[in-house]
Amino acid sequence: MNIIFKQLINLGCIACLFFSSSVHAQTVLDGRVSVDFSSNWKFRKEEASTDRIVKQKQREEIVDLPHTWNIADVMDDKPGYYRGATQYHNILYWKTAWQNKRIVLHVGAANQEATVFVNGKQVKAHIGGYTAFNVDITDYLNRRVNGKNTIVIQVTNRFNQDIAPLSGDFTFLGGIYRKVSLLLLDQIHFADPVYGSSGLRVNAKIDSSENATINLDGAIQNASASQQAIVIETTLMDADGVAVKKVQQKENLKPHSQHNFQLNIAEIEQPRLWSPDLPYLYRLITRIYDSNGRQLDHLDNSVGFRWFSFHPEKGFFLNGKPLKLVGASRHQDFKGMGNAVPDTLQIQDLVKLKAMGGNFLRVAHYPQDPAILKACDSLGLLASVEIPLVNEITESSTFAANSFQMQKEMIRQYFNHPSIIIWGYMNEIFLRPHFPKDKERQEKYFKSVVSLAEKLEALTRAEDTTRYTMIANHGNFDLYHRTGLTKVPMLVGWNLYPGWYGGKIADFGKQLEHIHQQLPEKPLLVTEYGADADYRIHSDKPVRFDKSIEYAIRYHQGYLNDILRKAFVAGGVAWNLSDFNSETREESMPHINTKGLLTWDRKAKDSYFLYQAYLKKAPFVKIGGTFGKKWAVRTEPDRALIGSGWLKLPIFSNADSVELLLDGISLGVSKPVDRMILWPVNLSRGLHTVKAQAFHNGKLSSVDEMVMDCEVLPYDLKKDKDWQELRINVGDNREYIDSMENRWFPDQPYERGSWGYLKGEKYRLKNTGRENLGTDVNIRGTGDDPLFQTQLQGLESYRFDLPNGNYEVELFFAELDGPNDKENLLYDLEQREKKQEKKGIDRVFDIRIGGHALAADLNVLREAGAFRGLRRKFQVKVHDDGNLVISFIPKKGEPILNAIRLKKINQSVNP
Ligand code: GCB
């Protein structure tokens, strides 16, 4: 690269040099230059019908890459999202500086089938949405000065039975959602046109006696018409940039050919080792020179020296020392961006995983941005990467061939990352066994799966002898074992959910022992475990499947204890680092799988703090409980303190003991159990400061402080004069924080002197074996689904004993027994076979206060439709000795109520 060019890069002017029509640069470029080609693409969706195409053309938009077309439709109330053909096009003007260059289009990822056309001619078709591809477009370009070239990339994310994934609990968002660049290369350059890698494989090896070597395998393209004598030089530099070793080798290239070479760096003595604690990286620069010493190409790789092994009894070893692998899996999407997420933001995920104390990332269920693996290298996170063969396969030779290509692309594109220790290729592949009604045919299907696994296994081992191979299975051990699938990979991963989809948390340990006993020769990794944790839902009586933050904490405590204590478990990977989009899911937060330790926009939930308390070596204390400052407590009859209430504040710590101070006054000292204390704190209205001081070996080791703005929801509405609003999540025993950060409290039966419902049954899902607290169907037209998803049915009245005065009453309804086309949740195996209610219930009721009708003949199904929120607001004057009785009078079927909000207006008129 010449000096002028370097300076332009420093000034951020690459784009103006190459694309601005006002610049007629004559610069001659040395070696490899990568130019961003991501701005100003014209994008449109293509529909099948001609009329539609015309319409769509009018809706052409200008987009920058990375881009996805599915940001909005995966979150709306309409099931499904656009899975079809689209087109991106852009114009490229030929530059004089490109004379004698090869122009290679590099596409980071396009989901999932892409076809590249240059000036109307098809140049490349690529299959698979999660790996990169390169296209040398030089020969298709109009190479006159300023010559105009049209680049079209057609992309479709349609269902294709020959391309994995066929199904899955994530969304197959379409788009060119990783970077696109133009590589400006010399006629002689490193290249891998078939598998999209850089063309250079760096195999850094080190053994237990710390003898290190680097073997390079490379491919060089000579696109020129002449024979060429070149020199390949590779230089290993330490982290300070000091050259440690330099090796050169001469090669002769035939015209118009690909030349393969090998080059070794031997005897690298006692290199510094790479590990999660100290991820020391060397740098390897490999150059091609012509016979006059002019640099033609160069590649820059990070090198980390480490050795590792898995043992079926003793777990994982890195550099000769045992290391429990603990971390999380990661999906690549982000709130409001789909899968088109800038690198800088993606890398933050790994910074968070590291800050959590994690040392392992399962890149699941597909290869992700190379920036992710680069960050693993430099942050010190070990990693597994896998191709998206999820749930099921198609028994076709094309499906197999596509899978082989994906596996090879993954291995070749990511090979050089020292962080990678495992290649995976199947996830829960027997979750959706085909031919459920024809057992004989099903056995044949199982055999096809095992045979595909064997081929992928052989391919992986042939591609890379230095990593382990892995298949991740779901909890049906016997099926995987009997079909022989457990024999195929070097490592078996298990995705285990007892205590979530079924069973008890305590079954997890038993299941691990069982697997280990039955399969003693295989190293075992817990590749998934997790519980939904909707950050808006809290409970002081958490139960399985309630989606509360508190249940998730218990679940993770139980699992972490077993993973950390059992030596034969090489490690455990939480599902998932963050909440992620899964369009077909409904439940408390429609379209989102909430098993993340972080929210979809990466805010820490309490479970993340729990992991920090378990995994961090440095002293740690954190007060959990909520997002933001707003809190609420409710006064309770047995502690009838007016104007204050009790709250169990979660404190997470790895210290011996913690002291808690409320507004500067000590509440005593307590010891964490399973890295947590639930501290009962009595809070009155207004601002409070809580401070947790952690002590280790008698010394203050860390401190956390939080300001709480507290609201008190009274039990006794008459004695407590200062309340303003009461919000009740009817039919629910969980607390809910709405989109305005207001807290809604669990319901209660009426007691004299307080408030509550008279008669009525909590709504329960029919035909389910699991705990359930309402429907799991998306409530249309609201983001506050949990408020509408629970309900009292057949209630007689809702009653408040309160001071006379004016009030606003808001009632919330949704018909939960309506017709429903929701698909049963795939991962909830207990649910799978059971049918939902299909027919709507016709119910009509009046709402009255005393002699006044607030609403007559209310039919929620007719007014709002099924599973759609309906609100009714009324102003009422209470003068009858402070009793507000809202009666629900059935006309047809049973009356319902989903939530109620009571607000004082013009306080205490007519006391
Ligand atoms: C699994 C799948 C994963 C799901 C997860 C869940 O076993 O491998 O893709 O997202 O369960 O949350 O149900």
Task: Say what the pLDDT of residue 20 is.
Answer: 37
Q: Is the CB of 427 under 6 A from ligand 1?
A: yes
Q: What are phi and psi of 799, to 5 degrees?
A: -130, 140
- Tokens, residue 614: 């378990």
CA–CA distance, 303 with 282 (Å, rounded to integer): 5
Q: Does ligand 1 come within 6 angstroms of the Cβ of 169? A: yes
Which residue has a Cα nearest atom 2 of ligand 1?
A: 169
CA 681 / ligand 1 centre spacing (Å) = 37
Kindly give the number of the ligand 1 atom that is closest to the alpha carbon of 826: 13
Under DSSP, the state recorded for 496 is: -
In CATH terms, the fold of domain 23-190 is Jelly Rolls (2.60.120)
- CATH number for region 200-303: 2.60.40.10
Closest atom of ligand 1 to CA, residue 501: 13
Please provide residue 854's backbone torsions phi and psi, each rounded to the nearest 5 degrees.
-85, -35
Per-residue pLDDT at 5: 37
Centroid of ligand 1 to alpha carbon of 827 (angstroms): 6
Determine which residue's CA is closest to atom 11 belonging to ligand 1: 827
| Candidate CATH numbers 2.40.30.10, 2.60.40.10, 3.20.20.70, 3.40.50.2300; the one for domain 644-712 | 2.60.40.10
Decide which of 3.20.20.80, 3.40.50.300, 3.40.1440.60, 1.10.260.40 is the CATH code for 325-605: 3.20.20.80
Calculate how far, in angstroms, residue 493's C-alpha sits from the geometric centre of ligand 1.
Answer: 13
463's tokens: 């591609």
Ligand 1 atom 3: the closest Cα is on which residue?
169
Residue nearest to atom 13 of ligand 1 (CA): 827
- The residue to mutate among 386, 528, 582, 584, having the most atoms of ligand 1 within 8 angstroms of its beta carbon, is 528
Q: How far apart are CA 104 and CA 190, in angstroms?
A: 12
Asked if 36 and 14 touch (Cβ cutoff 8 Å), the reply is yes
Give residues with Cβ within 8 angstroms of 28, minimum separation 6.
2, 97
Calpha distance 577→595 (Å, rounded): 8
CATH code for the part of the protein at 717-904: 2.60.120.430
Question: Atom 10 of ligand 1 has which residue's CA nearest to it?
Answer: 169
- Cβ pair 569, 559 in contact under 8 A: no
Residue range(s) of every CATH 2.60.120.430 domain in the chain: 717-904
Alpha carbon distance 2, 448 (integer Å):
56
Q: At what angle do helices 507-518 and 549-565 cross, to 10 degrees?
A: 30
Hey, what are 637's tokens? 């009859």
**680 Cα to the center of ligand 1, angstroms:** 35
Please state, in angstroms and as integers, the Cα–Cα distance from residue 620 to each residue in 313, 355, 693, following that order. 31, 11, 10
Q: Which residues of the chain have pLDDT under 70?
A: 1-30, 47-58, 638-641, 769-771, 820-840, 907-911
User: Ligand 1 centroid to 112 CA: how many Å?
Assistant: 21
Q: 35-77 pLDDT, tens per residue?
A: 999 999 999 998 644 444 445 555 899 999 999 999 999 999 9
Please, where in the chain does CATH 3.20.20.80 lie? Answer: 325-605
Cα separation of 246 and 233, whole Å? 7
Q: Which two tokens stand for residue 841?
A: 């219930």
Q: What is the pTM of this model?
A: 0.94
Q: List the residue whose alpha carbon is closest to atom 6 of ligand 1.
A: 827
DSSP 773: S
DSSP of 18-38, one letter per residue? HH-TT----PPPPS-EEEE--
Q: What is the C-alpha separation between 776 and 790, in angstroms, rounded?
A: 9
Q: What is the pLDDT of residue 766?
A: 77
| SS percent in the chain: helix, strand, coil, step 5 | 15, 40, 45
Beta bridge partners of 761: 793
- The pLDDT assigned to 771 comes to 65
Of the candidates 682, 684, 679, which has an alpha carbon nearest to the alpha carbon of residue 694?
A: 679
612, two tokens = 């920090």
Atom of ligand 1 nearest to the CA of 474: 7
428 CB less than 6 Å from ligand 1? yes
pLDDT computed for residue 638 by the predictor: 62
| Shortest-distance atom of ligand 1 to CA 495 | 7
What's the pLDDT at 881? 76
Alpha carbon 774 to chain centroid, angstroms: 26
Q: 339 C-alpha vs ligand 1 centroid, how far in Å?
A: 18
Let me know if 436 is exposed, middle or buried by CB neighbors in 10 A (0-12, 13-18, 19+): exposed
Contact of 746 with 758, CB cutoff 8 Å: no
DSSP code per residue over 330-393:
E---BTTTBT---HHHHHHHHHHHHHTT--EEEE-SS---HHHHHHHHHHT-EEEEE---BS--
The ranges of the chain annotated as CATH 2.60.40.10 are 200-303, 644-712
